[in-house]
């Protein structure tokens, strides 16, 4: 369920698999997204402003900065290394849908952290990575931008969650129903 790219690369597992680097970056981002999404849902449900809530917001921001950094590496890797071709026999519409979903996910793994970062700045709260390094202040506090960025961050997160669910369901369908090895290319122990 992967789109083809403009470049080829050597693969440790042959022409039909992803590189170990692509697999590692994929799963780092996936774990980060699951953690940040779950933490975001939990922390926004805590009433009032407590020390625990502030700590969770910090952790959420740290995850966002980390996801963004790894996502930039993933996008750069993908731009220079072709994904393996879709499994033989995959209908053209499924190949196009997979390519569209991948492009959307690449955009979202960049844009979601950026909207969260800008939302924090618009709220007048700087992002201090790991409590040590203050990230650049790209915009000042803004009562106009704050609700817009908050809504954008929330809705883009829900969009990403929906695309991830469809992506995972398609991968499982390829593994269980089609038995074409698509999922095994990203989870090597399934081979």
Residue 8 has pLDDT above 70, yes or no: no
Model pLDDT for residues 70-119, shown as the tens digit of each residue: 999 999 999 998 888 888 888 899 889 989 999 999 999 999 999 999 99
What pLDDT does 185 receive?
A: 81
CATH topology of domain 20-190: Fumarate Reductase Cytochrome B subunit (1.20.950)
- Angle at Cα 3 formed by Cα 183 and Cα 186, nearest 5°? 25
Provide the residue ranges of all domains of the chain, joining segments of one domain with +. 20-190
- For residue 12, the 8-state DSSP code is T
List strand residue ranges (DSSP E) for the chain, in order: 128-129, 133-134
Distance of CA 99 to the CA centre of its chain: 15
pLDDT class of 160 with cuts at 50, 70, 90:
very high
What pLDDT does 1 receive?
A: 39
What pLDDT does 13 receive?
A: 41
In contact, 170 and 98? CB cutoff 8 Å: yes
Please state at what angle helix 20-44 crosses helix 51-80, rounded to 10 degrees: 150
Residue 190 has pLDDT above 70, yes or no: no
Q: What percent of the chain has pLDDT over 70?
A: 90
Residue 191 has pLDDT above 80, yes or no: no
What pLDDT does 176 receive?
A: 87
- Higher local confidence (pLDDT), 29 or 8: 29
Question: Mean of the pLDDT values across residues 125-141?
Answer: 92
Mean pLDDT of the chain: 87
Q: Which residues of 6-22 are buried (b: 16+ CB within 10 A; e: fewer)?
A: eeebebeeeeebbbeeb
What pLDDT does 16 receive?
A: 62
pLDDT class of 2 with cuts at 50, 70, 90:
very low
Rounded distance between C-alpha atoms, residue 36 and residue 28, angstroms: 12
């Amino acid at each position: 369920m992967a789109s083809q790219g403009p470049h080829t690369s050597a693969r440790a597992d042959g022409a039909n698999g992803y590189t170990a680097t692509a697999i590692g970056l994929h799963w780092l981002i996936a774990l980060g997204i699951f953690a940040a999404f779950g933490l975001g849902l939990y922390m926004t449900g805590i009433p009032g402003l407590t020390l625990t809530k502030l700590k969770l917001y910090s952790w959420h921001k740290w995850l966002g900065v980390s996801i963004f950094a790894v996502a930039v590496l993933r996008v750069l890797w993908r731009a220079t290394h072709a994904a393996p071709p879709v499994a033989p026999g995959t209908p053209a519409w499924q190949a196009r849908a997979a390519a569209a979903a991948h492009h959307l996910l690449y955009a979202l793994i960049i844009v979601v952290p950026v909207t969260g970062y800008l939302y924090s700045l618009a709220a007048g709260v700087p992002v201090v990575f790991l409590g040590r390094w203050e990230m650049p202040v790209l915009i000042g506090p803004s009562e106009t931008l704050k609700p817009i960025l908050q809504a954008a961050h929330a809705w883009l997160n829900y969009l990403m969650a929906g695309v991830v669910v469809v992506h995972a369901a398609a991968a499982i369908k390829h593994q269980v129903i089609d038995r074409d090895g698509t999922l095994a290319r990203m989870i090597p122990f399934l081979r």
